[in-house]
Structure 1
């Protein structure tokens, strides 16, 4: 029974971590056109002795922010440039799909462990 509860905890922590990742991806997409915005990147940390995972610290993407030429922009400097964001929509869409697929895999694992636990309880009731 301990293995089943460990499986439930592992898949639940995976779902929570992927949901956090998806939230940051959506923030990045929403701010893709925000001047000076740096893409948020999240990593995952394994929790020792539990088999679970948790979202790590949020880091800002260190890539250089692009200089965009737009003399009419209110944030443009004297040369007509302003600092854009370093969000690449293709990368964000790929990250969102990967997070969704990982979340779905954890949902299936959670459901299978739950069904196995229910079957075990039915056997024990007899």
Structure 2
């Protein structure tokens, strides 16, 4: 693998973690939202990632990988049930006096945020280390 492909791989990881952080922020922003029905209540978004390995024509996957990294497959909604609260005075309450909150678990989202942030930092460190190695290799010739 050439050193330039390391930048592509780390860059795709950084892009994936950035999407993950944005999704966590969206989930946390809607954690306390309420709705008048369980169908319209906010459901936590979850990203699906998959490895990306595209090879050059005629090359084996282990020797000449042209594009290695990660890409987003799609977005799903959490299947956890939404919470209902009896609040007859709430303007969003249904005919029975219930409002329906989101199914976002703030603790899980904070753990996800820390994990995504650390993964992003690791990819930045990979890029910085690769850059330093390239600079030292260039300086060997001078």
TM-score scaled to structure 1, two decimals? 0.91
- Whether 1:106 aligns to 2:123 is yes
Please name the residue that 1:71 is paired with: 88
Secondary structure at the residue paired with 1:42? strand
Whole-Å separation in 2 of the counterparts to 1:64 and 1:100: 28
Whole-Å separation in 2 of the counterparts to 1:61 and 1:25: 13
Whole-Å separation in 2 of the counterparts to 1:58 and 1:117: 37
The structure where helix makes up a greater share of residues is 1
Whole-Å separation in 1 of the counterparts to 2:113 and 2:77: 17
Mapping 1:11-22, distance limit 5 Å: 11-22=10-21
The structure where strand makes up a greater share of residues is 2
Please name the residue that 2:42 is paired with: 37
**Which segments of 5 or more consecutive residues in structure 2 lack a partner in the other structure?**
35-40, 55-66
Deviations 1:84-108 (A, max 9, x none): 1000100110000000010011110
How many pairs were matched up? 124
Whole-Å separation in 1 of the counterparts to 2:108 and 2:31: 12
**Which segments of 5 or more consecutive residues in structure 1 lack a partner in the other structure?**
none
Deviation at 1:123, TM superposition (A): 2.6
